[in-house]
């Protein structure tokens, strides 16, 4: 029997929009009414760590209240149907995991983890509550959210590129492809491999060679997933026959 096709998904904040989590560039460069440089840069944290911690504490509560939507669930459903699905997400929420996806690479970190501000390897899960000024790692340094801020390196970028290189299909969902290096991931796709972008703004955003599907994630992803499942079943039936 042939190997299950490897579907690689690259998701951005648009996939969580229908779960009630605001996208980044939704409101004039502000993120939930804050200037990005104040709350999502190392300088901003140095200037006012209390403000940054409080900002992420509120975002974390929002993530805990949110629920996976039809798009997250459809991707998890494909895995349950026997597809090999690897998700690369720019999102710091855990909605892919809560929907049931098992292979999720968080390019920009995870809001439900804290980490040391001196040693990125020292990570701590935040199953409840937030991070306060004075909460320290085992080396005695202030804890910070385990997220990648603007101007910081993206440690999992090479791992993400390796996944894209071995994809049989790349599905991009809900991202403006505006942030590097994440947007450069598409350059690692073999030119013969099909790629689609699901986003209400897909026509304007799709680079050459990428099939635009203008739809919200909650509408577009389940439709495509059902189509793949039907095609997968047909392929299995013809192998058996």
Binding stretches for ligand APR (CB under 6 A): 12-14, 17-18, 23-25, 90, 108, 174-176, 178-179, 199-201, 205, 216-217
CB of 90 or CB of 116, closer to ligand APR: 90
Q: How far is the CB of 43 from ligand APR (least distance, A)?
A: 16
For ligand APR, the closer CB: 45 or 137? 45
Active site (catalytic) residues: 108
User: Which residues, 6+ apart, have CB-to-CB distance to 220 below 8 Å?
Assistant: 71, 173, 198, 213
- Which two three-digit tokens encode residue 168? 């049989």
Q: Which is nearer to ligand APR, 178 or 234 (CB)?
A: 178
Taking the CA of residue 10 as centre, how many other CA atoms within 13 Å lie in the half-sphere pointing to its CB? Answer: 28
Gap between the Cα atoms of 70 and 87, Å rounded: 16
Least CB distance to ligand APR at residue 201 (A): 4
- Nearest distance, CB of residue 194 and ligand APR, angstroms: 19
Residue nearer to ligand APR on the CB measure, 93 or 137: 93
């Amino acid at each position: 029997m042939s190997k299950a096709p490897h579907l690689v998904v690259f998701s951005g904040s648009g996939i969580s929009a229908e779960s009630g989590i605001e996208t980044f560039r939704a409101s004039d460069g502000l993120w939930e009414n804050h200037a990005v440089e104040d709350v999502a840069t190392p300088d901003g944290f140095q200037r006012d760590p209390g403000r940054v911690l409080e900002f992420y504490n509120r975002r974390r509560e929002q993530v805990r209240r949110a629920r996976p939507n039809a798009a997250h669930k459809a991707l998890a459903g494909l895995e349950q149907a026997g597809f090999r699905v690897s998700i690369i997400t720019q999102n710091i929420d855990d909605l892919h995991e809560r929907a049931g996806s098992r292979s999720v690479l968080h390019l920009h970190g995870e809001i439900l983890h804290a980490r040391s501000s001196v040693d990125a390897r020292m990570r701590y899960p935040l199953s409840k509550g937030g991070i306060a000024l004075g909460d320290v790692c085992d080396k005695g340094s202030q804890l910070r959210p385990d997220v990648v801020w603007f101007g910081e390196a993206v440690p999992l970028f090479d791992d993400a590129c390796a996944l894209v290189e071995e994809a049989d299909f790349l599905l991009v969902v809900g991202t403006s492809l505006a942030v590097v290096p994440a947007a450069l991931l598409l350059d690692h796709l073999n030119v013969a491999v099909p790629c689609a972008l699901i986003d209400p703004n897909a026509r304007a955003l799709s680079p050459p060679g990428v099939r635009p599907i203008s739809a919200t994630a909650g509408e577009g992803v389940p439709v495509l997933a059902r189509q793949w499942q039907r095609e997968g079943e047909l392929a299995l039936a013809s192998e058996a026959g």
